[in-house]
Chains A and B, each alone.
Chain A
């Protein structure tokens, strides 16, 4: 394309780029500046070097928030992936009323975090929740999520999986649908059992889609805020905080903008690390396809 027509195209690119630059890029760079300064309301910022980072990285509160985030990402995302994979294969094996089932599976995608929290809080309410009552009636222990941190973490994981399963499922199901059926025909003629054709045909070919779904979900689970904030508020006693909640508390509860910015940059760094994996993967796919 000639440069002249590229210039003519500029006005069309402008709205998107302007929005991204003014709302995300410049503020993110400003956060870097903030992270090297000590500042709070009504006080001039003073340069403190990497002190904020040292403070955050040495804070037991940050350690526990980071640990909780990693546990949630690892447990919830992988569990979600397994369920989604199972469902994608089930859907592909020929089901009656697949169109309707697909719509049903997509339904949680429409539910807001707030309403999802209301639902699951009621279902697991320690006094009147139907699931609690059911578990008790069966002689099983119910979740004591309002005061037992590990139980609260289970609740958060269940909630996250419920909300994001539609996304992971759709990615995997679409990828499975795109696999040519003659491959399976060939495998069958070569005498492969179902398990073998799953291991040697399905898994390797679904690999890229699985990686894309995983990276996406890592990135989005890592920034998790609303589910935790609305369900436990990070409590009891800040034991269920995740990194985003820690950031929020530092910034908006304690007005400690320096440490909050340092936390923000740690979040950006981790997200970008995961994102670069995603972008590399896309480029390789584009090259392979070309």
Chain B
């Protein structure tokens, strides 16, 4: 009996170690390698003790100023996409939570179905349209695209969160003479803050990291950070791994810390978004 318990615990510990290695090793490896001097990056087994250097970051700054332009573009696009998605989904989520009709139910199914169309499908017709409208290579186009692919999930999430706010609050405010926009802004929004954060986490992570749309719709002015990194990977004269790791670290760290800080909202969002249509 005692042996069995020992074996079970040993097995669990081993499993936990494997899970941690699998999830964290590649991330820690990239971050720590970005501080390793030249040849130590390639040392096997990897060196965990070394004199950290900022050489790769200096090179990144000197040779890839376009990367920092990319970070700037990513920031603008991410803020834009998150704002559009949060505002649109809060408004729509409120309607779906407070009213119901056959038409609304049908439109909710429409909402969920549309979200499942592969993004690459719409690039095909949008590419010439965006070019003709003179919107190619702008922050605006990326923000709108990113927001659109998250308003469905956002609406469903906001509905679930707003459902938990008692209707009596709306009614009391309405009796005091508040109009609907005022109720939404003064009563609902503060109480639905966790939902808003959950929606924001999804959009921010997606917009900050997205590759396909940025690849197709931007070329110079609005080029985002992931696109610049992809160019580093693909450079013909061989990859400069140190600089690539430095750029990856800079691109990754903010969003990684954000996800870690927001993990509660992410989990709440994932579960209610996928299972409560």
In the complex, what's the smallest C-beta–C-beta distance from B218 to chain A, in angstroms? 14
Most chain B CB within a 10 A radius of its CB, from A23, A116, A208: A23
Query: Could you write out 24 A-B pairs with CB less than 8 Å apart?
Result: A6-B101, A6-B103, A9-B180, A19-B147, A27-B124, A28-B122, A28-B125, A31-B121, A104-B23, A108-B27, A111-B252, A112-B208, A112-B251, A118-B229, A122-B245, A123-B26, A130-B44, A133-B44, A170-B271, A244-B120, A272-B117, A275-B112, A283-B277, A286-B277
**Contact partner of A23 among B122, B209, B244, CB < 8 A?**
B122
Would you call B35 an interface residue if the criterion is a C-beta within 8 Å of the partner chain's C-beta atoms? no
Question: Which residues of B have CB within 8 Å of A274?
Answer: 116
Q: How far is the CB of B141 from chain A (nearest CB, A)?
A: 10
Closest chain B CB from A5 CB (angstroms): 7
B91 lies within 8 A of A12 (CB): yes
Q: How distant is B92 from chain A, measured CB to nearest CB, in Å?
A: 4
- CB-based contact B16/A95 at 8 Å: yes
Q: Given the complex of chains A and B, what is the CA–CA distance between A280 and B270 in angstroms?
A: 20
Contact present for A24 and B266 (CB under 8 Å): no
State whether A257 and B151 are in contact (beta carbons under 8 Å apart), knowing that A15-B87, A23-B145, A271-B117 are contacts in the complex: no
Rounded to whole angstroms, the CA-CA distance of A191 and B23 in the bound complex is 38
Query: Does B212 contact A16, Cβ atoms closer than 8 Å?
Result: no
Majority secondary structure of chain B interface residues (helix, strand, loop or mixed): helix
Q: Does B275 contact A (CB under 8 A)?
A: yes
Q: Are A16 and B124 in contact (CB under 8 A)?
A: no
Query: What separation, in Å, do the CA atoms of A15 and B84 have in the docked complex?
Result: 9
B111, A20: Cβ atoms closer than 8 Å: yes
Contacts of B155 in A (CB 8 A): 16
Inter-chain contacts of A79 with B (CB < 8 A): none
Question: With contacts A20-B152, A123-B29, A272-B116 known, is A108 near B103, CB below 8 A?
Answer: no
Q: Which residues of the partner chain A approach B54 to less than 8 Å between Cβ atoms?
A: none
Given contacts A110-B256, A112-B209, A167-B270, contact A15 B277 (CB under 8 A): no
How far apart sit A24 and B103, CA to CA, in the bound complex (Å)?
A: 20
Q: How many A residues touch the partner, as a band?
A: 35 or more
Cα–Cα, bound, A34→B122 (Å): 12
B259: interface (CB < 8 Å): yes
Contact A115-B229, Cβ < 8 Å, known A1-B100, A110-B258: yes
A174 contacts B by Cβ under 8 Å = yes
Q: Is the CB of B271 within 8 A of A174?
A: yes
Contact status A230-B211, CB under 8 Å? yes
* Majority SS at the chain A contact face: helix
Contact in complex: B252, A110 (CB < 8 Å): yes
Flag whether A102 is at the interface (Cβ < 8 A).
yes
Give the complex CA separation of A16 and B29 in angstroms.
41
- Using A13-B91, A20-B151, A104-B24 as known contacts, say yes or no to A28 and B100 having CB atoms under 8 A apart: no
Contact check, A115 vs B30: say whether CB atoms are below 8 A apart. Answer: yes
Tell which of B15, B23, B151 has the most Cβ of chain A within 10 Å: B23
Q: Which of A56-64, A149-157, A197-205, A246-254 contacts B (4 or more CB under 8 A)?
A: A246-254
Whether A24 touches B122, Cβ cut-off 8 Å, given contacts A107-B27, A272-B116, is: yes
Q: List chain A residues, Cβ under 8 A from B229.
A: 112, 114-115, 118
B121 near A267: Cβ-Cβ < 8 Å: yes
CB nearest neighbor in A for B229: A114
The answer to whether A16 and B111 have CB atoms under 8 Å apart is yes
Q: Is the CB of A128 within 8 A of B88?
A: no
Bound form: Cα–Cα A130–B46 in Å: 7
| Distance to closest chain A CB from B168 (angstroms) | 17
Complex contact A230–B277 (CB within 8 A): no
Taking Cβ atoms with an 8 Å cutoff, the residues of B that contact A are 12, 15-16, 19-20, 22-24, 26-27, 29-30, 42, 44-46, 84, 87-89, 91-92, 94-95, 98-101, 103-104, 107, 109-127, 129, 144-145, 147-149, 151-152, 155, 180, 184, 205, 208-212, 216, 226-227, 229-230, 232-233, 241, 244-245, 248, 251-252, 255-256, 258-260, 263, 266-267, 270-271, 274-277
State the Cβ distance, B266 to closest chain A Cβ, in Å. Answer: 7
Which chain A residues lie closer than 8 Å to B147 at the CB level? Answer: 19
Q: A106-B263, A268-B117, A271-B116 are in contact. List 14 more A-B contacts (CB 8 A).
A: A16-B155, A19-B151, A23-B126, A27-B124, A107-B256, A113-B211, A113-B226, A117-B233, A162-B26, A212-B274, A212-B275, A219-B116, A222-B118, A225-B211
Is there a chain B Cβ closer than 8 Å to A87's Cβ?
A: yes
Instruction: Give CA–CA (A247, B184) in the complex, Å.
Output: 43
Contact B23 A105 (CB under 8 A): yes
Residues of A within 8 A of B26 (CB): 108, 116, 119-120, 123, 162
Contact status B95-A13, CB under 8 Å: yes
Top 8 closest pairs, chain A to chain B, by CB: A112-B209, A223-B118, A282-B277, A15-B88, A110-B259, A16-B92, A12-B91, A174-B271
Whole-angstrom CA separation of A283 from B27 in the bound complex: 39
Q: How far is the CB of A169 from chain B (nearest CB, A)?
A: 9
Determine the distance from Cα of A170 to Cα of B120 in the docked complex, in whole angstroms. 27
Question: Are B124 and A257 touching (Cβ within 8 A)?
Answer: yes
Contact across chains for B263 and A95 when beta carbons are under 8 A apart: no
